[in-house]
């Protein structure tokens, strides 16, 4: 697993680090986790039935993943989120760089 927990108090836990599954670098930036997190619990009918996958990618590796998806015409939905957590629509690709 790529998440390391440390005990801060008896009843409280805090994430010490999240490691990128591709490059091995920390995904902590300015005290918060900045990572693309993918989680899948494969279900009945799939070739991976009863397995669970977790993936963390740092910002740099996430950008490379995005480019890999788009190289053959695929896309990733990107939206902007307000400070209060509301989604306000797709982000202009020119602003993503």
Where are the domains positioned within the chain? 3-96
The structure's pTM equals: 0.66
For the stretch 37-81, pLDDT in tens is: 999 998 888 888 889 999 999 999 999 999 999 999 999 888 888
Give the C-alpha separation, 17 to 25, whole Å: 10
Give the C-alpha separation, 42 to 50, whole Å: 6
Is the pLDDT higher at 84 or at 66? 66
Six token digits for residue 11: 């009843």
Mean pLDDT of the chain: 82
Give the C-alpha separation, 35 to 55, whole Å: 9
- Residue 97, pLDDT > 50, answer no
What pLDDT shows up at residue 92?
A: 52
Within the chain, residue ranges assigned H as helices are: 59-70, 93-96
């Amino acid at each position: 697993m790529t998440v390391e927990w440390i005990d801060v108090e008896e009843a409280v836990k805090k994430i010490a680090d999240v490691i990128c599954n591709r490059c091995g670098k920390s995904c902590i930036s300015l005290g918060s986790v900045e990572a693309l997190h993918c989680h899948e619990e494969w279900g009945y009918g799939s070739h991976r039935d009863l397995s669970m996958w977790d993936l963390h990618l740092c910002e740099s590796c996430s950008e490379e993943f995005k480019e890999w998806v788009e190289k053959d015409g695929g896309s990733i939905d990107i939206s902007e989120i307000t400070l209060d957590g509301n989604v306000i629509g797709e982000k202009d690709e020119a602003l993503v760089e």
